[in-house]
């Protein structure tokens, strides 16, 4: 796999901006073997200078990182910087209960898209208040396009308004990656969202 330098990354970003491409559009046009790798050898350098205990899974902390490493918190992680889970501190937020998780997993497409869209909008408001601006507009655009593509027959809400509002509020307290993870049952859309998140991480950690 090719290893890109920061200078090469900067050139790619400038090219993208000049052509008006989003991260997902660029990744779709890039041959698989030449796709920009998100490896800790280069992209995690800035993070490890601030947090010596940072791991590969912590890239994008706290909004885009992997789940916390249960072994690191006990001083037992043997993978160090190569660990695929996050070694940085996480805030404990309310989680969906079993009934709510089952409800989300069984939601029709329109209900699920509406839920994730609403949760991301609320999350964006929370981040803005903290002066931590993350580029999630493209994620919302992708969701809106998916909703608009549904037929009138399919665009009918079957989940109760009360349940949808409650779960949306709870879900918005998760990280952006945590919210998007609920789309895993829609693999094509989930892949597009993950590509956008990868692009966001690329921009953030190169300082561009």
- Residues 70-99: pLDDT tens digits? 999 888 999 998 999 999 988 888 889 999
Check residue 183 and give its pLDDT: 96
In whole angstroms, give the CA distance from residue 55 to residue 79.
9
Kind plus residue range of the DSSP H or E element containing 23: helix 23-29
Q: In terms of Cα–Cα distance, which of 59, 71, 16, 80 is closest to 175?
A: 59
Check residue 73 and give its pLDDT: 83
Q: Decide if pLDDT at 126 tops 50.
A: yes
Check residue 197 and give its pLDDT: 87
Identify which has the larger pLDDT, 153 or 38.
153
Q: Decide if pLDDT at 142 tops 80.
A: yes
For the chain, the straight-line distance linking the first and the last C-alpha, in angstroms and rounded, comes to 23
With a CB cutoff of 8 Å and minimum separation 6, the contacts of 47 are: 54, 58, 59, 61, 205
pLDDT tens digits, residue range 51-68?
Answer: 556 788 888 888 888 889
Q: Decide if pLDDT at 32 tops 70.
A: no
């Amino acid at each position: 796999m090719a290893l890109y330098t920061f200078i090469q990354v900067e050139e790619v970003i400038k090219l993208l901006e000049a052509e008006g491409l989003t991260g997902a559009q660029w990744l779709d046009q890039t041959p698989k073997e030449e796709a920009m790798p998100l490896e800790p050898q280069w992209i995690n350098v800035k993070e490890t200078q601030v947090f010596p205990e940072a791991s590969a899974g912590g890239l994008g902390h706290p909004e885009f990182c992997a789940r916390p490493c249960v072994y690191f918190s006990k001083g037992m992680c043997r993978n160090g910087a190569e660990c695929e889970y996050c070694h940085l501190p996480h805030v404990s937020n309310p989680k969906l209960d079993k009934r709510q998780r089952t409800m989300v997993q069984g939601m029709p497409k329109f209900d699920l898209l509406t839920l994730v869209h609403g949760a991301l909008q609320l999350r964006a408001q929370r981040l803005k208040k903290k002066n931590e601006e993350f580029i999630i507009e493209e994620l919302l655009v992708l969701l809106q396009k998916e909703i608009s593509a549904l037929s009138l027959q399919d665009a009918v809400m079957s989940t109760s308004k009360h349940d949808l509002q409650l779960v949306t509020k709870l879900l918005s307290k998760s990280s952006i990656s945590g919210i998007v993870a609920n789309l895993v049952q829609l693999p094509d859309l989930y892949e597009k969202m993950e590509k956008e998140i990868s692009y966001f991480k690329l921009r953030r950690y190169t300082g561009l």
